[in-house]
Structure 1
Amino acid sequence: MTQRKNLPQGLRGLRTMHILVAEDDRFAREQLSLLLSRFAGRVSTAADGMEGLDAFKYDRPDIVITDINMPRLSGLDMAQAIKAMDPSVPVILVTAHSDAKFFLRSIDIGIDGYVIKPVDADSLLKLLAKQAAVLLEARAAEARAGMFRFILDINPNFILTLGGESLDYVNRTFLDFLGATDLAALRGGHHAGRVLELDGRAFDPADLAWTKLLDQREGRTHQAVFAPPPASGERERTFLVSAVGFPELDRTIITFTDITPLAEERRILRIRAATDALTGIANRAGLAEALEREFHRGQRHAATLSVIIFDIDHFKNVNDAYGHPAGDAVLAELTRLVATHVRDHDTFGRYGGEEFLIIAPQTGVAEATLLAERLRADVARHRFPAVGSLTCSFGIAADGPGDNPDSLVARADAALYDAKQGGRDRVVAR
């Protein structure tokens, strides 16, 4: 072995390395071990390829240096087996061979370097320093990646990345929420059964078809809802979803930000805005929204829509004689009475003052009239606390050609006026 000359600065990186030397020549093996032990953190040796392969399996050294011609298992065969187990482990051949077949096979195996016998110490150390630098950089990159994964995994937002069209990362927060043990389980569709609703469509979260709906332009977001697993007793969760593409990396990062409290607050505010505070049923705004929805649904499905509008006869006398608190009690009691008659798909609300409205989908004039007559009779029979008997008048209209929601209510209101003019406590249809 030739003498060492100027040593590269990178040799400091060898201090953390474990090097395995496989050499059947005892003297050469000891010389290499003696040289390397001055720079490497640890050096182990093997007398042939089989012993070297066993040592690799047991100890997993960082770098392998091997002779080629050895008993039981050649250096190339050992290197091939090592590369099959871990392609990232550098393997350096110490050889006197120079024929083309040897080099072609070593290229196929993925040999990382060559040192020609007799071994020049400087050449070997420079090669080792280079491989150590690559390993240290890879370890540093892995450590940085681990640190970023840790940061992402403890992030309360859900974060996932797509490589092309495949899922290649999901943070721990998202996996735990979905009930998936790991990324492989999620890819296989093994999770707790939550359903993702995005832009009005339902998806299995593991089915990446939903990602194609995401707008990757800056500032664009989507609202998504995760339905709870079956029989879990959980409530649905609402998220703001954004996607950012990195074309140069062929990567897309998708984030889910939980806005459930905000969405719930908005839902409650919408309900309050559409609910009558006294009676707890829909107010005029809520009725207008429901009427618009049901009118257009009826138009799409060619189904008749009827509205029933009614009010309490001589209600002003109730307020004048018994006071407004008694009048409010009558309105609340009337609401409870009427609510027992309306169907699940009907909408019942307070139109204003003592006036009420029932929106009855898939209902013609005849059926609406029967319902109104039952209500009229029940109200007339009912005894209201502190007030006694009351009556109501009813106006009915069913949608027809040229109608819109406003004209439909206007015709029902005109029918109510006719009922009042006709003596009250009656039902009139137009």
Structure 2
Amino acid sequence: MSQQAAPQGSRTGLFVNPAAARRAEFAAACGSLFGELRVADGADGALALPGLDRLDLLVIDLERFDPELDHADLARLVTARAGAPTFVLCPFANARWLPALMACGPIDYAIAPLDDEALLEAVRARLARGPAPLPEPSPRERELDALHALRTRVRLALGEGEDLAALSERLCQALCSWPGVAHAALFYLQPGGDLQLQAQHGERTLNLAKVLGRGERLLQSPLRHAFPGLLAASANTIALLDDLDKSGEPALADKLRAHGVQMVLALPIPSSGPGAPRGSLCLLFRAARRFSRDELDTLAELADLAAVGLRLADLNREGEEMLVRVTHLSTLDALTGIANRRHGETLMEQEIKRARRYGHPLALIAFDIDRFKGVNDRYGHPVGDMVLRAVADAAQKLVRASDVLVRAGGEEFQVIAPHTSAIDGLKVAEKLRTAIEATAMPGVDQVTISLGVAQLGEHESADSLTVRVNAALARAKRAGRNCVELAMG
């Protein structure tokens, strides 16, 4: 592409946003600036287009993108541009996108919202500058840029609250992004246990567990004095093996060289208090090199960040264990073991959001046991409780794994059915009705149920959906019970 800005009639642009309405609005506001304006709903669609690096301008509108879900894909898109003009429209309330994308390549940005006139001027100004070449960075600038990118990727890897295995894997992937690193590993000292190889990433044919002869109980390994990853974790020191023969273990050196490794650096991951390190970060390089003070300081900082991440992973695990215990008490109905009303309301809101985001249908089925008060009055509440459990068990066996069975109160139940239209909901309800009617009930001869079915409307709330399905259930009761009614729109 010429370093001069292309004439307006020959300019090619690409606008990326997941919402069709936003794409249409941009085309209406700025389409006149381009001879050809392409659109894509996401990074995958954009990357699939030919000539991505020859576009005069890529515009990424971050509205409706989620930093947690979409960062990796958009980072690939920015990286694929290889420095070609990229313009980002960033919502003012979500500016954390900017440093994350800047770490992937040069971008210009404007803060949204912008009216049509301001948007047109911002895009016109960016096009007017054209793809001016960036000055060639000095070796020092390249070093600092690489360290900044590495630090950013590690922070992003540690920023997501996942379990230890996922965090460790992401951390090793981030470390492998540093130029020259062929393989990265995290060794982790288990609480009350021994050192283990927690995660590794990089050279596909290289498995450190095979190189070291084991992946666990590594403090007892005969190579703990020779391999930097083990030495750093056991002796709480930075270990740098710039010549593999200096390890004193020829077999170890030969195995590493066979995978293209020439140098190994390991840093201890500090513990939160006195005592042994939490483990170590181990970097295996394709060639021996010298490190600057900034590089060593940055690596030590990353080891400190890893310590924080591991502690957070431990806290997450402890919190999840506690949450499981609390969830059992707070979200499940004590009598039937299915979701209670409050949890059902929460799940309903989640499914409504999911249905709206992906455009999938959602059905709600409400049913209750016919003349249940008579069961309690005639046979007693213990028998009534057994009937409730039997109905819940029979319904739970019939609904799909994606459905949620809820005890809404007393003898009233609901089925939240994702990916289900009103017609399919009627079929599910009829299966429930016939199955309950055919189920042997402890202490009574037979029970039946009445059911109502409703499909979520385009702009309907959970409360409105519940009102409609309960009205349909009431009609089923008035119609003689043991039948199904469809809610009115």
- TM-score interval, smaller chain: 0.3 to 0.5
Q: Name the larger-Rg structure.
A: 1
Name the TM-score, length of structure 2 as normaliser. 0.40
